[in-house]
Amino acid sequence: MSFIERTQSGHVATITINRADKLNALSAEVIAELAATFAALTFESLGGDPASAVRAVVLTGAGKAFVAGADIAAMATMSSAEAGRFSEAGHALCAAIEAAPYPVIAAVNGFALGGGLELALACDFIFAADTAKVGLPEVTLGVIPGFGGTQRLARRIGVGRARELIFTGRTVTAEEAARIGLVNEVMPAGELMARATACAEKIASAGPLAIAAAKRAMLHGSEAPLGPACELERQAFAALFGSDDQRTGMGAFLAKQKATFSGR
């Protein structure tokens, strides 16, 4: 049984977690299938048919949840070793999303709790329906976030706010999440996918090598001192001047035309 649905329009792929009867809870099987889905969307696909290359991804959930959390029924009987392997798989998935050469937009359509919020935090940014609820309630179960939540939440909203949310296990509304910088934008539920897709299409129309370089520089430079981080940017900037995309983009600008990028 497949829990992941993938559709594609142009250069934008939409990945939907569909385990709606369990509020899309992250079992080991869901994590493995989601990881395989992202692994298949490699940057090397640009070397095939440029018209079908994935340049941006929208990640969402079926039904009334984005992901309501990890599968508590499966976790309840895990040994420490089994929990460690489960956490390792979740961390690997989130790291793969974070390091993907294309941006990933989380379209949070409902509950994003525990592992669900951790999954969204691994995405480049988050759009949320006005009905969404988010939080890391793991301490109420006697454990802590296990897929990177203690680290990524603090980096996104600051240590003080992250501590308050994690230590209390409090769930917040989409509006509060936007106010504290946890999500980028809130909109009516019926407009969420159209807004996320439109943003993904805007990204996909830009130079894919440049987008990948910018994402990589921001990821690796975010925790480095300013000097070394700026050197990463300088190197990436210079390297792009050997690409067809750079010549295409600047040539189109000078000719007052719209650029069509090849990803080369």
Give me the CATH number covering residue 196: 3.90.226.10
Burial of 29 from C-beta contacts in 10 A (0-12 / 13-18 / 19+) = middle
Residues with catalytic function? 118, 138
Specify whether 58 is located in the same domain as 107.
yes
Task: Domain count for the chain, please give it.
Answer: 2
| Beta-carbon contacts of residue 189 (< 8 Å; ≥ 6 apart) | 109, 129, 130, 131
**CATH at residue 237:** 1.10.12
Where residue 165 falls among pLDDT bands split at 50, 70, 90?
very high
Specify whether 59 is located in the same domain as 103.
yes
Specify whether 234 is located in the same domain as 192.
no
Where residue 70 falls among pLDDT bands split at 50, 70, 90?
confident
Residue 165 lies in a domain: yes
Where residue 162 falls among pLDDT bands split at 50, 70, 90?
very high
Specify whether 197 is located in the same domain as 220.
no
Residue 147 lies in a domain: yes
Where are the strands (E) in the chain, listed by range?
A: 4-9, 12-17, 56-61, 65-67, 104-108, 111-113, 125-129, 133-135, 171-173, 185-187
Complete DSSP assignment for 186-203: EE-GGGHHHHHHHHHHHH
The pTM (predicted TM-score) of the whole model is 0.94
Specify whether 186 is located in the same domain as 229.
no
pLDDT one-digit tens code per residue, 116-159: 999 999 999 999 999 999 999 999 999 999 999 999 999 999 99
| The pLDDT of residue 44 | 44
pLDDT one-digit tens code per residue, 197-207: 999 999 999 99
Residue 163 lies in a domain: yes
Specify whether 44 is located in the same domain as 122.
yes
Report d(CA 45, CA 54) in Å as an integer. Answer: 8
Specify whether 237 is located in the same domain as 152.
no
Average pLDDT over residues 236-264: 95
Specify whether 140 is located in the same domain as 233.
no
Specify whether 182 is located in the same domain as 90.
yes
Report d(CA 51, CA 165) in Å as an integer. Answer: 43
Residue 259 lies in a domain: no
| The pLDDT of residue 172 | 98
For the chain, the average pLDDT equals 94
Would you call 106 helix, strand, or coil by DSSP? strand
- Smallest Cα–Cα separation from 146: which of 88, 102, 96, 187? 88
Specify whether 101 is located in the same domain as 14.
yes
Instruction: Count the neighbouring beta carbons within 10 Å of the beta carbon of residue 165.
Output: 24
Q: What range does the domain containing 247 cover?
A: 208-254
Q: Which two tokens stand for residue 223?
A: 């925790």
pLDDT one-digit tens code per residue, 15-54: 999 999 999 999 999 999 999 999 988 644 444 566 678 9
Specify whether 198 is located in the same domain as 123.
yes
Specify whether 171 is located in the same domain as 138.
yes
Where residue 209 falls among pLDDT bands split at 50, 70, 90?
very high
**pLDDT > 60? residue 160:** yes
Would you tell me the crossing angle of helices 244-254 and 208-221 to the nearest 10 degrees? 110
Question: Rounded to 10 degrees, what is the CA torsion of 88, 92, 94, 95?
Answer: 130
